Protein backbone atom coordinates (compact mmCIF):
# COMPACT_ATOMS: atom_id res chain seq x y z
CA UNK A 1 0.00 0.00 0.00
CA UNK A 2 1.30 3.49 -0.90
CA UNK A 3 1.40 5.74 2.13
CA UNK A 4 -0.70 8.87 1.72
CA UNK A 5 1.37 12.02 2.00
CA UNK A 6 0.14 14.39 4.69
CA UNK A 7 -0.51 17.89 3.37
CA UNK A 8 0.78 20.76 5.48
CA UNK A 9 -0.09 24.45 5.67
CA UNK A 10 0.51 27.69 7.51
CA UNK A 11 -2.75 29.61 8.03
CA UNK A 12 -2.62 33.22 9.25
CA UNK A 13 -5.43 35.11 10.94
CA UNK A 14 -6.23 31.88 12.76
CA UNK A 15 -7.58 33.26 16.02
CA UNK A 16 -11.02 34.14 14.65
CA UNK A 17 -13.33 34.22 11.66
CA UNK A 18 -12.28 32.78 8.31
CA UNK A 19 -8.77 31.93 9.49
CA UNK A 20 -10.01 29.91 12.45
CA UNK A 21 -12.63 28.16 10.31
CA UNK A 22 -9.98 27.28 7.73
CA UNK A 23 -7.72 25.74 10.37
CA UNK A 24 -10.62 23.66 11.64
CA UNK A 25 -11.60 22.51 8.15
CA UNK A 26 -8.08 21.54 7.06
CA UNK A 27 -7.35 19.77 10.34
CA UNK A 28 -10.59 17.83 9.96
CA UNK A 29 -9.40 16.69 6.55
CA UNK A 30 -6.11 15.43 7.97
CA UNK A 31 -3.81 18.33 7.17
CA UNK A 32 -0.93 19.31 9.43
CA UNK A 33 -1.65 22.97 10.20
CA UNK A 34 0.31 25.78 11.79
CA UNK A 35 -2.24 28.27 13.13
CA UNK A 36 -0.81 31.80 13.21
CA UNK A 37 -2.25 34.89 14.93
CA UNK A 38 -1.35 37.47 17.54
CA UNK A 39 -3.65 36.21 20.30
CA UNK A 40 -1.96 33.20 21.79
CA UNK A 41 -4.74 32.27 24.20
CA UNK A 42 -7.21 31.81 21.35
CA UNK A 43 -4.69 29.72 19.44
CA UNK A 44 -4.15 27.43 22.41
CA UNK A 45 -7.86 26.69 22.53
CA UNK A 46 -7.92 26.11 18.77
CA UNK A 47 -4.93 23.79 19.07
CA UNK A 48 -6.69 21.82 21.78
CA UNK A 49 -9.75 21.42 19.57
CA UNK A 50 -7.98 20.58 16.30
CA UNK A 51 -4.41 19.46 16.93
CA UNK A 52 -3.11 22.48 15.01
CA UNK A 53 0.28 23.88 16.00
CA UNK A 54 -0.20 27.35 17.55
CA UNK A 55 2.17 30.17 16.61
CA UNK A 56 1.55 33.49 18.37
CA UNK A 57 2.96 36.06 15.96
CA UNK A 58 2.53 39.55 14.56
CA UNK A 59 2.95 38.83 10.84
CA UNK A 60 4.48 42.27 10.23
CA UNK A 61 7.39 41.47 12.59
CA UNK A 62 10.37 40.35 10.50
CA UNK A 63 12.18 38.65 13.37
CA UNK A 64 9.11 36.72 14.43
CA UNK A 65 8.43 35.60 10.88
CA UNK A 66 12.02 34.37 10.49
CA UNK A 67 11.79 32.37 13.72
CA UNK A 68 8.53 30.79 12.59
CA UNK A 69 10.05 29.71 9.27
CA UNK A 70 12.85 28.02 11.19
CA UNK A 71 10.30 26.28 13.42
CA UNK A 72 8.25 25.08 10.46
CA UNK A 73 11.34 23.91 8.56
CA UNK A 74 12.57 21.94 11.57
CA UNK A 75 9.20 20.17 11.74
CA UNK A 76 9.24 19.10 8.10
CA UNK A 77 8.08 22.19 6.24
CA UNK A 78 4.88 23.03 4.40
CA UNK A 79 3.50 22.78 0.88
CA UNK A 80 0.82 25.48 1.31
CA UNK A 81 0.71 29.03 2.65
CA UNK A 82 -2.72 30.53 3.30
CA UNK A 83 -2.67 34.27 3.97
CA UNK A 84 -5.95 35.18 5.64
CA UNK A 85 -4.82 37.77 8.23
CA UNK A 86 -6.11 41.22 7.36
CA UNK A 87 -8.94 43.57 8.10
CA UNK A 88 -10.44 47.02 7.85
CA UNK A 89 -10.49 50.03 10.14
CA UNK A 90 -12.88 52.93 9.83
CA UNK A 91 -15.21 54.23 7.14
CA UNK A 92 -13.77 57.71 6.73
CA UNK A 93 -13.89 59.45 3.39
CA UNK A 94 -10.54 60.46 1.93
CA UNK A 95 -11.05 64.06 3.05
CA UNK A 96 -11.19 62.85 6.66
CA UNK A 97 -8.81 59.88 6.36
CA UNK A 98 -7.03 58.81 9.52
CA UNK A 99 -3.42 58.07 8.75
CA UNK A 100 -3.12 55.50 11.55
CA UNK A 101 -6.03 53.47 10.16
CA UNK A 102 -4.65 53.53 6.62
CA UNK A 103 -1.18 52.51 7.80
CA UNK A 104 -2.61 49.66 9.85
CA UNK A 105 -4.63 48.34 6.89
CA UNK A 106 -1.67 48.53 4.54
CA UNK A 107 0.70 46.92 7.03
CA UNK A 108 -1.57 43.98 7.83
CA UNK A 109 -3.18 43.31 4.46
CA UNK A 110 -0.25 44.06 2.16
CA UNK A 111 3.06 44.04 4.02
CA UNK A 112 2.06 41.16 6.28
CA UNK A 113 1.09 39.04 3.28
CA UNK A 114 4.30 40.01 1.50
CA UNK A 115 6.52 39.18 4.48
CA UNK A 116 4.98 35.74 5.04
CA UNK A 117 5.10 34.94 1.34
CA UNK A 118 8.67 36.15 0.90
CA UNK A 119 9.80 34.13 3.91
CA UNK A 120 8.19 30.86 2.79
CA UNK A 121 8.89 31.05 -0.95
CA UNK A 122 12.22 29.16 -0.78
CA UNK A 123 10.51 26.31 1.08
CA UNK A 124 7.55 26.23 -1.31
CA UNK A 125 9.83 26.30 -4.36
CA UNK A 126 11.91 23.46 -2.97
CA UNK A 127 8.81 21.38 -2.41
CA UNK A 128 8.12 21.48 -6.15
CA UNK A 129 4.34 21.68 -5.89
CA UNK A 130 3.78 24.60 -3.56
CA UNK A 131 0.64 26.68 -3.18
CA UNK A 132 0.01 30.23 -1.96
CA UNK A 133 -3.58 31.29 -1.34
CA UNK A 134 -4.33 34.92 -0.54
CA UNK A 135 -7.69 36.03 0.82
CA UNK A 136 -8.44 39.47 -0.58
CA UNK A 137 -11.95 40.92 -1.00
CA UNK A 138 -14.45 42.18 -3.52
CA UNK A 139 -13.41 45.55 -2.06
CA UNK A 140 -10.35 45.11 -4.29
CA UNK A 141 -12.63 45.14 -7.34
CA UNK A 142 -15.13 47.94 -6.62
CA UNK A 143 -14.51 51.08 -4.58
CA UNK A 144 -17.17 52.75 -2.47
CA UNK A 145 -17.61 55.87 -0.32
CA UNK A 146 -15.99 55.42 3.06
CA UNK A 147 -14.00 52.43 1.89
CA UNK A 148 -10.99 54.05 0.24
CA UNK A 149 -8.43 52.83 2.76
CA UNK A 150 -9.66 49.24 2.66
CA UNK A 151 -10.22 49.40 -1.11
CA UNK A 152 -6.63 50.56 -1.57
CA UNK A 153 -5.13 47.94 0.73
CA UNK A 154 -7.05 45.05 -0.80
CA UNK A 155 -6.40 46.27 -4.35
CA UNK A 156 -2.68 46.34 -3.53
CA UNK A 157 -2.84 42.84 -2.06
CA UNK A 158 -4.65 41.65 -5.19
CA UNK A 159 -2.05 43.25 -7.47
CA UNK A 160 0.72 41.56 -5.50
CA UNK A 161 -1.06 38.20 -5.80
CA UNK A 162 -1.42 38.51 -9.56
CA UNK A 163 2.24 39.49 -9.94
CA UNK A 164 3.32 36.58 -7.75
CA UNK A 165 1.48 34.15 -10.03
CA UNK A 166 3.47 35.41 -13.02
CA UNK A 167 6.78 35.47 -11.17
CA UNK A 168 6.57 31.98 -9.69
CA UNK A 169 4.99 29.92 -12.47
CA UNK A 170 8.43 28.71 -13.54
CA UNK A 171 8.79 27.25 -10.04
CA UNK A 172 5.50 25.33 -10.42
CA UNK A 173 4.02 27.46 -7.64
CA UNK A 174 0.23 27.61 -7.64
CA UNK A 175 -1.16 31.03 -6.64
CA UNK A 176 -4.85 31.33 -5.73
CA UNK A 177 -6.90 34.39 -4.83
CA UNK A 178 -10.24 34.19 -3.00
CA UNK A 179 -12.31 37.39 -3.05
CA UNK A 180 -15.28 37.22 -0.65
CA UNK A 181 -18.12 39.70 -0.58
CA UNK A 182 -20.40 40.03 2.43
CA UNK A 183 -19.31 37.57 5.12
CA UNK A 184 -20.80 37.63 8.61
CA UNK A 185 -18.03 36.95 11.10
CA UNK A 186 -17.51 37.55 14.78
CA UNK A 187 -15.11 40.48 14.55
CA UNK A 188 -14.63 41.99 11.07
CA UNK A 189 -17.29 44.71 11.13
CA UNK A 190 -16.95 45.16 14.89
CA UNK A 191 -13.25 45.95 14.53
CA UNK A 192 -13.95 48.25 11.61
CA UNK A 193 -16.87 50.18 13.09
CA UNK A 194 -16.16 49.97 16.81
CA UNK A 195 -19.57 48.95 18.15
CA UNK A 196 -21.87 45.93 18.08
CA UNK A 197 -24.80 48.10 17.02
CA UNK A 198 -22.99 49.54 14.00
CA UNK A 199 -21.64 46.12 13.05
CA UNK A 200 -25.09 44.51 13.10
CA UNK A 201 -26.47 47.19 10.77
CA UNK A 202 -24.08 46.01 8.04
CA UNK A 203 -25.97 42.71 7.82
CA UNK A 204 -29.46 43.94 8.78
CA UNK A 205 -32.15 42.29 6.68
CA UNK A 206 -29.70 40.27 4.57
CA UNK A 207 -30.92 36.71 4.24
CA UNK A 208 -28.11 34.23 4.71
CA UNK A 209 -24.92 36.27 4.40
CA UNK A 210 -21.85 34.12 3.87
CA UNK A 211 -20.22 32.58 6.94
CA UNK A 212 -16.61 31.95 7.84
CA UNK A 213 -17.28 28.26 7.31
CA UNK A 214 -18.53 28.92 3.76
CA UNK A 215 -15.25 30.60 2.85
CA UNK A 216 -13.20 27.94 4.66
CA UNK A 217 -14.93 25.29 2.52
CA UNK A 218 -13.89 27.16 -0.64
CA UNK A 219 -10.32 27.67 0.57
CA UNK A 220 -9.98 24.02 1.51
CA UNK A 221 -11.30 22.91 -1.87
CA UNK A 222 -9.04 25.27 -3.81
CA UNK A 223 -5.88 24.05 -2.11
CA UNK A 224 -6.91 20.37 -2.22
CA UNK A 225 -7.61 19.87 -5.93
CA UNK A 226 -4.76 18.29 -7.94
CA UNK A 227 -1.84 20.68 -8.12
CA UNK A 228 -2.02 21.23 -11.87
CA UNK A 229 -5.49 22.77 -11.36
CA UNK A 230 -5.20 26.45 -10.43
CA UNK A 231 -8.34 28.30 -9.41
CA UNK A 232 -6.73 31.65 -10.11
CA UNK A 233 -9.50 33.92 -8.84
CA UNK A 234 -12.62 32.93 -6.92
CA UNK A 235 -15.20 35.70 -6.36
CA UNK A 236 -17.87 34.61 -3.88
CA UNK A 237 -20.88 36.53 -2.60
CA UNK A 238 -24.17 35.61 -0.93
CA UNK A 239 -27.09 35.38 -3.34
CA UNK A 240 -28.59 38.47 -1.70
CA UNK A 241 -25.55 40.50 -2.78
CA UNK A 242 -25.78 40.63 -6.55
CA UNK A 243 -23.04 43.28 -6.67
CA UNK A 244 -21.25 45.66 -4.33
CA UNK A 245 -24.03 48.23 -4.84
CA UNK A 246 -26.94 45.76 -4.96
CA UNK A 247 -27.87 44.06 -1.68
CA UNK A 248 -31.38 42.78 -1.01
CA UNK A 249 -32.53 43.49 2.54
CA UNK A 250 -35.85 42.20 3.87
CA UNK A 251 -37.92 43.48 6.76
Cα dist from 33 to 7, 10, 13, 122, 131, whole Å: 9, 6, 13, 19, 14
Strands 80-83 and 8-12: parallel
Task: Give dist(CA 239, CA 98) in Å, integer.
Answer: 33
Between CA 183 and CA 193, with CA 189 as vertex, the angle to 5 degrees is: 160
Of 93, 158, 181, the closest CA to residue 102 belongs to: 93
Catalytic choice (144, 150, 184, 203) = 150
3-state SS assignment for residue 211: strand
**Contacts of residue 217, Cβ cutoff 8 Å, sequence gap at least 6:** 25
CB 249 within 8 A of CB 239: no
Q: For the packed helices 40-50 and 17-28, what is the interaxial angle rounded to 10 degrees?
A: 20
Does 150 participate in catalysis according to the annotation? yes
Hey, which residues are catalytic here?
150
Amino acid sequence: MVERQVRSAVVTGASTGIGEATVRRLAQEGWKVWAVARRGERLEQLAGDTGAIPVALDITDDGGVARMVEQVAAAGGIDTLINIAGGARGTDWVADARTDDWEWMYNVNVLGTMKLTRAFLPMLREHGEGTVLNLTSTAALVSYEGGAGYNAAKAAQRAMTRALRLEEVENNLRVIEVLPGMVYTEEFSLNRLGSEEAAEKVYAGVEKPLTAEDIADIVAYAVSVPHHVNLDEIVVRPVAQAAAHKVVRKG
